[in-house]
A and B are shown apart, each in its own frame.
Chain A
Amino acid sequence: MTRLEALQTVYSRLHDRIVVTIMGAVAAELQSIGHRPNFFYLQHAMGLASSMGLGIALSRPDRQVIVLDGDGSVLMNLGGLTTLARYRPKNLVHVVFDNESLLSVGGFPTATSTGSDLAAIAKAAGVPRTTTVRTIEAFREAFDEALAAGELASVVAKVEPVGPSAFVTGLGLLENRFQFQRYLANAVDPDPAR
């Protein structure tokens, strides 16, 4: 499975949910499918996308938050998994695209290429729901189950180490940031009974 295929297969689910991505290929590929005002791309600060997702999830319990992370970024903030697990927001789904490499900076292998298991690490950190998937069908199913589960979930999707040819997009960083903030300010709970 490629990350782009995985993003395409769940794109319709992102329509009314808060999405925070990491930098590089994830941000560029999601934008290539279609940017929305409820998407925020953290184009640096590797490791902190999950922390931002936690901050949003705790601040807006009425909204579901999806973090689209990567193996290189998660490995830079493994402690953050313990913080996520400690507060285990019910409205947060943590997707980790694991291509076992630092693709955006030359494809050097990360520690997941030599056996480090991010779903097992998340589970041991205390994340209540974790899984690793390797096919599009399994990813779609795991993603939908995580959305419906009502508890903190980590979905590690093993993907091929391929990505876009360029990472800079036409969307300015601050344009994205202020648009996203405005979206959150105006966003009302789509299902107040939840």
Chain B
Amino acid sequence: MGEAAEWFRIRDAADMSPVSTANSRLVYDALKACGVRLLSALPETWLVHLIRLAEEDPDMTLVRLAKEEEGVGISAGAHLAGVKSAMLMQNHGLLASINGIVSCAQLYRIPLLMLISHRGEFGERDPWQTEGGAVTEDILRALRIPSAFLEHPDHVARRIAQAQTLAYASNKPVALLLRRDLMFEES
């Protein structure tokens, strides 16, 4: 399947899903306002609109990954080359990226802005997502990665800007957990 066909498939899937278009736009606009010019991403349901927005934006470099850990290296390279970036991933992507976070981003003091969809919380219907949600916050604490939730539209822009500010001040990774209340519109 070509890039175009893939795009239409994703778009169609996104149009049918209850993922919040408005709040995805809010998150995307906040990243843009912070000067983020490169996004690495591995698709997952809650991120479809965000990835679509990045793909439609000629001023954004979107790097679609095979595995999330690659995004740590790409963001590290972008940072050293003077470009602000962010990573979009599921919490299982965080789990898959831990060595890169520790032995690239933390070892070399790279500011890393990670936006992580926090699957497996209250309300999760997919049985396969339930283990990851239970360990995500403990993993972030064990890695001493400062984190906060994005759960309400009112604080999205401010928290993203604050997270980026801390990442640059500390030269370290920070995490924002995208919560169900923000990303998913369901009855």
List A residues at the B interface (Cβ < 8 Å). 20, 40, 42-45, 47-60, 77, 79-80, 82-83, 86-87, 173-174, 177, 180-181, 184-185
Contact = CB atoms under 8 A, between A and B. Distances in A.
Q: Which 4 A-B pairs have the closest CB atoms?
A: A55-B77, A51-B73, A79-B66, A48-B73
6 contacts: A45-B73, A45-B99, A51-B74, A52-B76, A55-B73, A80-B66
B73 A49 contact: yes
A181 B99 CA distance: 22
Nearest to B72: A48
Contact of A83 (B38, B65, B76, B85): B65
Contacts of A180: 80
B41 to A, nearest CB: 11
A52 B103 contact: no
Given A77-B70, A83-B66, A54 B108 contact: no
A56 B85 CA distance: 12
A173 B72 CA distance: 17
B77 A87 contact: no
A50 B38 CA distance: 17
Contact of A87 (B63, B69, B85, B108): B63
Interface of B: 38, 61, 63-67, 69-83, 85, 99-100, 103-104, 107-109
Contact of A54 (B77, B80, B100, B104): B77
Given A59-B77, A59-B81, A184-B82, 5 more contacts: A42-B104, A45-B72, A51-B73, A51-B74, A55-B73
Contacts of A82: 66
A51 B73 CA distance: 5
Contact of A51 (B70, B83, B109): B70
B99 A54 contact: no
The interface centre, meaning the residue of B81, B83, B99, B103 with most chain A CB atoms within 10 A of its CB, is B81
Contacts of A60: 81-82
A55 B108 contact: no
Nearest to A55: B77
Contacts of A173: 107-108
A80 B76 CA distance: 15
B74 A54 contact: yes
Contacts of A56: 77-78, 80-81
Contacts of A55: 38, 63, 73-79, 81, 83, 85
A88 B159 CA distance: 35
Nearest to A181: B80
B63 A58 contact: yes
Contacts of A49: 73
Contacts of B108: 42, 173-174, 177
Contacts of B38: 55, 58-59
A57 to B, nearest CB: 8
B128 to A, nearest CB: 21
Given A51-B70, A77-B70, A44 B80 contact: no
